[in-house]
Amino acid sequence: MIPKTFKIKSFGCQMNVYDGERMAELLDSRGMRAAGEDDDADLVVLNTCHIREKAAEKAYSDVGRLRREDGSKPLIALAGCVAQAEGAEARRRSPMIDIVVGPQAYHRLPDMVGEAASGKRPVDTDMPAISKFDAMPARRRAAPSAYLTVQEGCDKFCTYCVVPYTRGAEIGRPLRDILDEARALIDCGAREIVLLGQNVNAWREAGAGLASLIRQLARIDGLERIRYTTSHPNDMDDALIAAHGEVEQLMPYLHLPVQSGSDRVLKTMNRSHSVDSYLRILDKVRSVRPDIALSGDFIVGFPGETEEEFQQTLSVVDAVCYASAYSFKYSPRPGTPAAAMDDQIERAVMDDRLQRLQERINHHQSAFNRSRIGTETQVLIERSGRNPGQMIGKSPWLQSVHVETAATPGEIIDVTLVEAGPRSMTGAERALAAA
Ligand code: 5AD
Ligand code: SF4
């Protein structure tokens, strides 16, 4: 029987969130309806992430938990990067899985659901040259801050990373399609667009790079804010740096992963930049946009990392004074060069390093938040807060701001930041006082 209702659960990066939204629109356009949060669904799509070991394990245990009390189960589709990496093997690990669909093949999901409903167990992890985007229905819903994938895949081959294997080679979407989708998102309520790609700043068309795309987007009426994530230092060209100083809609926030503060480790990671070249980029960005909030990614316990090399990572954190940062324990991914390296680091050492790194990051994050107290700025309202009358939105520096206001999601309001927590800010609406 063809399912009537569906649920999609996305894990991992923002690109998966975007893909999850697109799959929902696709199923919706074929007459299926999203089940309520607490309701049972006929079809459950687990849109998985493979970047670290635990995420994949979590996906399998989530599959197991879909069995209902009466022993029955919904139709289950394994999508995303675990699906891509494991292919048919995923179904052997969990016979409850009916459909395996990779990130480049999900435009086929509705057909595969039909096949599965008639007893087949389809697998599609092809990476076709024809863009899945062409097969998608038009955008009809958008959050105030909407994701838009402009580029997928990666050619960098950092030695720890599965992405070049799960998402394939770098491929950019055509400029015209991106602008069309941006306009459609704005028409259905978006005020901010977050451009997504595994290597978003590698996007280019006819010699023009991301900076040129951002400048074209900035000309669209109604688009108030632009962000992009995630970037590689080597693709941070001067045009993009200049855009941070010149394009008003480009928000003062940059997520630029460095991974390690040791040149030797960076070399074995095949990062093809040095600590110094990374810091020079950030200096340039700061010189055109002094208030920019900087963010990064770090891996601790990469094979062979010594205590001294780890301390160099802490020094980078202190040198940059990140406004936020993500840090991870190294996780060996099957098939990647680093997984076969000698000198894998003991778990206890990794735990200890991660804790020390996170303490240092939290220290700078709190300091950044405190430094904004008293700042008059604007907040894009995204959703209701926990208390009545309270709303939550984002500052230009991507801080969550709690504010008492009658404004609704999608409105941009004038706020004075009055209090700083470790993870969020409290704001006071200014229009009220001015009235
Ligand atoms: N182990 C730990 N962290 C990883 N990342 C990518 N691959 C691994 C891995 N094998 C981290 C990097 C990257 C972020 C998305 O995830 O820091 O920037
Ligand atoms: Fe996870 Fe990478 Fe896939 Fe995103 S692209 S879901 S981070 S493995």
The domain spans of the chain are: 5-124, 132-371, 376-434
pLDDT at 130 (0 to 100): 67
Cis peptide upstream of residue 229 (ω within 30 degrees of 0): no
Q: How many CB atoms lie within 10 A of CB 287?
A: 11
CA 158 / ligand 1 centre spacing (Å): 10
Ligand 1 proximal residues by C-beta, below 6 Å:
51-52, 160-161, 257, 259, 297, 299, 328, 330-331, 333
Q: What is the pLDDT of residues 317-348, one digit of tens each?
A: 999 999 999 999 999 998 899 999 999 999 99
Q: How far apart are CA 9 and CA 16, in angstroms?
A: 10
Is pLDDT of 44 > 70? yes
248 phi/psi in degrees, rounded to 5: -60, -35
Please report, rounded to a whole number, the percentage of residues in the chain having pLDDT higher than 70: 99
CA 384 / ligand 2 centre spacing (Å): 29
Class of domain 376-434: mainly beta
Q: What is the pLDDT of residues 142-156, one digit of tens each?
A: 999 999 999 999 999
Pairing status of strand 390-394 against strand 376-384: antiparallel
Is pLDDT of 129 > 90? no
Is pLDDT of 435 > 60? no
In the numeric block, which tokens belong to residue 255? 């997520």
Q: How far apart are CA 281 and CA 164, in angstroms?
A: 25
Q: How far apart are CA 435 and CA 428, in angstroms?
A: 14
Q: Which of 198, 200, 255, 331 gets mutated to test ligand 2 (max ligand atoms within 8 A of its CB)?
A: 198
Q: What is the pLDDT of residues 199-235, one digit of tens each?
A: 999 999 999 999 999 999 999 999 999 999 999 999 9
Counting ligands in written order, the one closest to the CA of 157 is 1
pLDDT at 422 (0 to 100): 83
Q: How far apart are CA 229 and CA 254, in angstroms?
A: 8
Same fold, 5-124 and 376-434: no
Q: What is the pLDDT of residues 84-123, one digit of tens each?
A: 988 998 989 999 999 999 999 999 999 999 999 999 999 9
Q: Which atom of ligand 1 is nearest to the CA of 160?
A: 10
Q: How far apart are CA 317 and CA 261, in angstroms?
A: 8
Q: What angle do CA 350, 355, 359 make, to 5 degrees?
A: 150
Task: Report the interhelical angle of 14-29 vs 109-117 (nearest 10°).
Answer: 60
Residue tagged 């316990």 (tokens): 301
Architecture of the domain delimited by 5-124: 3-Layer(aba) Sandwich (3.40)
Please state the rounded mean pLDDT for residues 60-80. 95
CA 199 / ligand 1 centre spacing (Å): 13
Please state the rounded mean pLDDT for residues 166-180. 94
Q: How far apart are CA 60 and CA 82, in angstroms?
A: 9
How many Cα atoms are found within 13 Å in the side-chain-facing hemisphere of 362? 9
198 phi/psi in degrees, rounded to 5: -60, -25
**Assigned CATH topology for domain 132-371:** pyruvate-formate lyase- activating enzyme (3.80.30)
Counting ligands in written order, the one closest to the CA of 81 is 2
Bridge partners of residue 150, in order along the sequence = none
Q: What angle do CA 99, 101, 102 make, to 5 degrees?
A: 160
Q: Which of 9, 13, 165 gets mutated to test ligand 2 (max ligand atoms within 8 A of its CB)?
A: 13
Q: Which of 157, 166, 230 gets mutated to test ligand 2 (max ligand atoms within 8 A of its CB)?
A: 166
Q: Decide which of 435 and 359 is more confident.
A: 359
| Closest residue by Cα to residue 209 from 192, 190, 231 | 231
Please state the rounded mean pLDDT for residues 366-384. 98
Which of the four pLDDT bands, split at 50, 70 and 90, describes residue 184?
very high
Counting ligands in written order, the one closest to the CA of 230 is 1
Average pLDDT over the chain reads 95
Bridge partners of residue 151, in order along the sequence = 172
CA 392 / ligand 1 centre spacing (Å): 29
- Find out whether 144 and 137 touch, Cβ atoms under 8 Å: no
Residue tagged 């070399």 (tokens): 267
Separation in Å, CA 28 to CA 32, 73, 75, 399: 5, 21, 16, 33
pLDDT at 432 (0 to 100): 56
- Find out whether 18 and 196 touch, Cβ atoms under 8 Å: yes
Q: How far apart are CA 337 and CA 316, in angstroms?
A: 26
